[in-house]
Amino acid sequence: MFLGFLGCLGSLKEIKCMLGLYFGFLLLLFLGQVTTAILIQTHSNTISSTVAGHVKTIIASYGTNASLSDHDDSWDFVQEQFQCCGWTGWTDWMENSRVRNALKKEYPCSCGNTSALHSANNRTTAKPALFCQAQAQLPINNKGCRESVQTWVNNNIISIVGICLGIALLELFLMMVSMFLCRTIDPD
């Protein structure tokens, strides 16, 4: 909003200071985006291990509060959409104290294999949004979410890069227009 205000009012009222600030902020934003892209590319292994650690922390603390946190809810969404369980596999959930110490076989409901759930008549739900119980074999997805997330990113990388390049080109165009206006505004 602030950038739009500077650019619009600066060009409408022909105020060079506002156009200069508009150019400066756009330049900082552009340089920040380029720096972020370079850092992501050069530190991809570090980012991958950081994400894995963050996910394992979410799994370990999942269900400890009465209501789901945003992180828990987001992780449920990932597991349901990609039909996966844990980061590397189901065994990641053994870090969760409720799953590890359960007397009956408990698992997060978002890990449930929907085809196995429809055929399992012996499943009862402990809490609708958190954990489910199974009497026999666990009806869960066995694959981890890491591969699914990496596959999704690889399949959509062209779209992601295209959107980022489009935004960068728009910023460059707007910087050129602001400099053009700034140079052509007559002091009188």
Give the 3-state secondary structure percentages of the chain, helix then strand then coil, rounded to 5.
Answer: 70, 10, 25
Specify the pLDDT at position 121: 39
Taking only the tens place, the pLDDT of each residue in 38-75 is: 988 888 889 889 999 999 999 998 887 766 788 888 99
Range with lowest mean pLDDT among 11-25, 55-69, 74-88, 114-128: 114-128
Q: With 0-12 CB in 10 A as exposed, 13-18 as middle and 19+ as buried, what is 114?
A: exposed
